[in-house]
């Protein structure tokens, strides 16, 4: 006999008792006849892919396990990348929350501090001042210090030259040696510039993490059904 679609679906999902009930409702067969028909169909289709009662082949299990490790590593890399760059949106949020306190001014360069520490990494910044105040500007956004080196920095930013900047004495002067918020490079629209920093972090740092987590759930190997409770005998 032709098995109804809802019965086949229940069998492929391992719900044998429900399949017997559905078959009885669809055909009017008795309990024993329905049970025989279901078990006959199970014997004939046990080897088909996706059948609930058949375990996955060893090659598929190995493939799923390998893919799981790859996705786990991708999630870890994406998390580290997002965490390492978290200073970008945090600093932008600080600037945006103190936006009214920034004023456009000039920064007079007096000298360049530059050294590469084996433990802490590259450390550099401009020593100078805004009018009537002494301050320090770390400027990773103004130049690629690793590419230019000290000689290149001195050629591009000689002592006595002026830089157009935004200045706000109410915010931090150093943020993990990654960015100075008290004196920041000038942008025509400061608010839009900081929002772009947040947007870039969302796209290039957070989105890879979300995508990796989604893929890890989407392609997670299906767990076996061996832990299910044994089926109770059908009752009339």
User: Average pLDDT, whole number, for the chain?
Assistant: 78
- Both tokens of residue 91? 């600093």
Q: Residues 56-79: pLDDT tens digits?
A: 555 554 555 556 788 888 899 999
Cα separation, 178 vs 84, whole angstroms: 11
pLDDT of residue 27: 86
Give alpha helix (H) positions in 46-186.
Answer: 58-84, 87-97, 145-156
* Phi, psi of 116, rounded to the nearest 5 degrees: -115, 100
pTM: 0.60
Whole-number pLDDT of residue 16:
87
pLDDT, tens digit (0-9, with 9 covering 90-100), for 199-234: 999 999 999 999 988 888 776 654 444 444 444 444
Spatial distance between the Cα atoms of 153 and 122, rounded to a whole number of angstroms? 14
Give the span between the Cα atoms of 19 and 236, in whole angstroms: 14
Per-residue pLDDT band for 191 (boundaries 50, 70, 90) equals: very high
The answer to whether 158 and 112 are in contact (CB under 8 A) is no
Angle between helices 31-45 and 5-12 (to 10 degrees): 60
13 Cβ partners below 8 Å, 6+ apart? 52
pLDDT at residue 11, rounded to an integer: 86
């Amino acid at each position: 006999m032709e098995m109804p679609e809802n019965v086949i679906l229940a069998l492929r999902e391992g719900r044998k008792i429900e399949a017997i009930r559905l078959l009885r409702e669809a055909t009017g067969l008795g309990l024993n006849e329905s049970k025989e028909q279901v078990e006959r169909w199970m014997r004939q289709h046990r080897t088909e892919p996706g059948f609930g009662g058949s375990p996955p082949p060893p090659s598929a299990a190995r493939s799923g396990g390998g893919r799981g490790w790859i996705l786990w590593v991708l999630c870890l890399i994406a998390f580290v990348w997002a965490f390492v760059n978290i200073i970008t949106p945090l600093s932008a949020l600080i600037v945006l929350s103190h936006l009214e306190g920034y004023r456009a001014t000039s920064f007079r360069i007096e000298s360049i501090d530059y050294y590469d520490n084996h433990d802490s990494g590259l450390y550099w910044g401009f020593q100078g001042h805004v009018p009537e105040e002494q301050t320090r500007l770390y400027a990773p956004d103004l130049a690629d210090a690793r590419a230019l080196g000290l000689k290149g920095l001195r050629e591009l930013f000689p002592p006595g030259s002026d830089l157009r900047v935004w200045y706000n004495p109410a915010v931090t002067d150093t943020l993990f040696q990654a960015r100075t918020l008290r004196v920041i490079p000038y942008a025509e629209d400061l608010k839009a510039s900081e929002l772009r920093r947040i947007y870039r972090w969302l796209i290039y740092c957070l989105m890879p993490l979300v995508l990796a987590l989604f893929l890890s759930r989407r392609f997670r190997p299906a767990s076996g059904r061996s832990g299910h409770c044994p089926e109770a005998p059908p009752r009339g």
